[in-house]
Amino acid sequence: MTARTSFRTLPEVDRRRFLTLAGGSAAGLAFSLAMPRPATASSGGVLPYPFTQGVASGDPVEDAVVIWTRIAPAPLLPNGGLDEGARVGVDWQVAEDERFHRVVRSGTTTTSPDTSHTVHVDVRGLLPGRAYWYRFRAGGHLSEVGRTRTMPPRQSMQPLRFAVASCQNWRAGYFQTMADAVAQDAELMLFVGDYLYEYPVQQLAVGRHIDPNLPAEVVPTTVSLDQYRLRYALYRTDPDLLAAHSAMPWILSWDDHEVANDYESWSTPDLDRRAAAYRAYWEFQPLRWPQPPRGADARLYRRFRHGRLAQIDVLDTRQYRDPQVTGGPAADDGPRRDPARVLLGEEQERWFTAGFGAEPARWNLVAQQILMARLNTAADPEAPPTFSPGTWDGYQAGQQRLFDTVATSQARGTSSNFVVLSGDVHCSYVSDISADTTDPTSRVIGAEITSTSITSAQDFNPVANEARQVRRRVNPSLKWADLHCGYVLCHLDSERMHADIRAVDKVSRHDDAVFTAASFEVYNAIPGIHRTA
């Protein structure tokens, strides 16, 4: 594809000045770039500024990355404020510099109501290990500029600075920790689930201020396709979230609230709701999927390589699981040990077993949703152990099979450092992983860092946090338990992984400062994790 010369060039900015130049938000920068001449959609009407939902990129590989935007002049109205049946032509460019002097790929696509006027372009033919800038134009309006990067070449040991985040409940608070990930120069976002919540958009006693004039269609519990689309559109009005999407590529997986709480136990009549949720997720995220979801079925587990430094296995622990054990905490000798009960499903489990350690990597990172390390939930160290039925502990046989895969690969020398990156529980847990899921004193084979929530835990509660410390007293492998909201910032190189727990006291205040609550390190060829600050 040849470069187009009709795009207006932009002044050079770096990521640390991004928010300042935008007047405090990515949306501000986007609006400042609107071209003066009016635009028309295929329906014949004038197209107002359409890039209100920002830009995004994701699923980076060595020679390609997906870039995304949405045409939505009024994003919180049905169909994004476009006329029914409207189709809009969208130009796109990818360049080696932020002034777009060296455009390397460009093209044109057309949006339609069938995909909620979202744009997904899988840009191929890029060079490995490079930063790129991208932008869109529709009907005379120019989007803000996004920054992305490709994965490095296969033999590279290039370091990686990345963020791990989960559980962002819009009504529960503000997303300033997403802006912090930009300020901290994260190069990649691993988002491990609960991008949105299906609950009604209602004012909470502790949470963000909700405009009482919010369109009524946005408010209800999400059930239909239109409602899920509007919920994503609402989240995509948050300037901090837009900034994080435009500053770096994302690799995402879902948990349950993208559909509904604990939806794995649903019966057949609820599959229509799941199909609607999967469709909206595909539309609004920068994902590389070979095809849209087929009803209530969509493969999301996949694998990425960051050169020879790291393999990243992204799991789906929701879609294929058997219903969790009911009746409260699971006893150690109960149905949680049934080998017939599956969490990943047989196909995904075979995929993981075949691919883990198949190619040498210094670090094997597993990005997934729920707590994987063994965690005794009993309050008394002398009491019989109990386990949460909704985590990997509730599917102990499958948990053990995965750990056996890791241990076998380590024994063969095809993998070395095993680190799990999780979410879901709204609490930051940092733990060693032992080889035997029934014996907490067995040898250590890896580590797990569970990201706290972006907002779902709400403002920090010291009393509730102290109650979490009981878990540390009955689990010697547990190094940290904390209820602050925030995310994990990681720096990975050939010899260590350094992880900072970035936290905030009050997500109900947008100006509350983000700080480092604790720091941990994992060292090459030394299984386990160690607190450093």
**Nearest one of 17, 5, 232 to 100, comparing CA atoms:** 5
Q: What is the pLDDT of residue 420?
A: 98
Q: Which amino acid is at 199?
A: Y
Contacts of 459 (CB under 8 A, 6+ apart): 173, 206, 485, 505, 506, 507, 508
pTM listed for this prediction: 0.92
Tokens for 28?
Answer: 């501000």
Structural domains of the chain, with CATH: 15-149 (2.60.40.380)
Q: Which amino acid is at 452?
A: T
Which phi and psi (to 5°) does residue 165 adopt?
A: -145, 160
How far apart are alpha carbons 419 and 498 in whole angstroms? Answer: 12
How far apart are alpha carbons 45 and 83 in whole angstroms? Answer: 8
Report whether 188 contacts 240 (CB < 8 A).
no
> pLDDT of the chain along its 533 residues, tens only?
333 333 333 333 333 333 333 333 333 333 233 333 333 455 456 899 999 999 999 999 999 999 999 999 999 998 999 999 999 999 999 999 999 999 999 999 999 999 999 999 999 999 999 999 999 999 999 999 999 999 999 999 999 999 999 999 999 999 999 999 999 999 999 999 999 999 999 999 999 999 999 999 999 999 999 999 999 999 999 999 999 999 999 999 999 999 999 987 666 568 999 999 999 999 999 999 877 898 899 999 999 999 999 999 999 999 999 998 887 788 888 789 999 999 999 999 999 999 999 999 999 999 999 999 999 999 888 899 999 999 999 999 999 999 999 999 999 988 889 999 999 999 999 999 999 999 999 999 999 999 999 999 999 999 999 988 988 889 999 999 999 999 999 999 999 999 999 999 999 999 999 999 999 999 999 999 999 99
How far apart are alpha carbons 152 and 465 in whole angstroms? Answer: 40
Q: What is the pLDDT of residue 269?
A: 64
The strand pair at 103-111 and 160-165 is best described as: unpaired
Report whether 446 contacts 431 (CB < 8 A).
no
How far apart are alpha carbons 90 and 51 in whole angstroms? Answer: 11
Which phi and psi (to 5°) does residue 459 adopt?
A: -65, 145
How far apart are alpha carbons 448 and 431 in whole angstroms? Answer: 5
**Nearest one of 455, 433, 457 to 168, comparing CA atoms:** 455
Q: What is the pLDDT of residue 28?
A: 34
Report whether 231 contacts 291 (CB < 8 A).
no
Sheet holding 417-422, edge to edge: 302-306, 310-314, 363-367, 417-422, 444-450, 428-434, 478-482
